Amino acid sequence: MSQTYDENALNTILDVRVHATVQLGSCRLRMKEILELSPGAVVQLNQLATDPVGLYLNDRLIAEGEVIIIDDHLGIKITEIKMG
């Protein structure tokens, strides 16, 4: 009976959805700069184009990777797992 409970609990946990976010970079802007943003404005990030991007699950960094294009969509190719 205990094993069945454990399997059911594990299956329940494996079905839980988490929020996945890929962070390309970040920067600091003054409020004045934010208020001056308009369509076409460019915001330069502090990461280089060759730097890995971070994959976050529920705001926790779990992996890094490279941005790739799949058909007309963006994706991430995992290069390093950060959990542990």
CA–CA distance, 84 with 75 (Å, rounded to integer): 24
Report the sign of the C-alpha dihedral through residues 38, 44, 46, 47, in that order.
positive
Tally of domains within the chain: 1
Mean pLDDT in consecutive groups of 10 residues from the start of the chain, 84 residues: 71 90 95 97 94 94 96 96 83
Q: Can you give the pLDDT at residue 9? A: 84
Q: In which element (H, E) is residue 12 found? A: helix 2-14
Q: Does any domain span residue 60?
A: yes
Sheet of 20-23, strand order: 20-23, 53-57, 60-70, 73-81
pLDDT value, residue 2 = 54
Structural domain span for residue 61: 18-81
Domain for residue 10, yes or no?
no
41: domain CATH number?
2.30.330.10
Q: Is residue 12 part of a domain?
A: no
What do you get for the CA distance between the two ends of the chain, in Å?
32
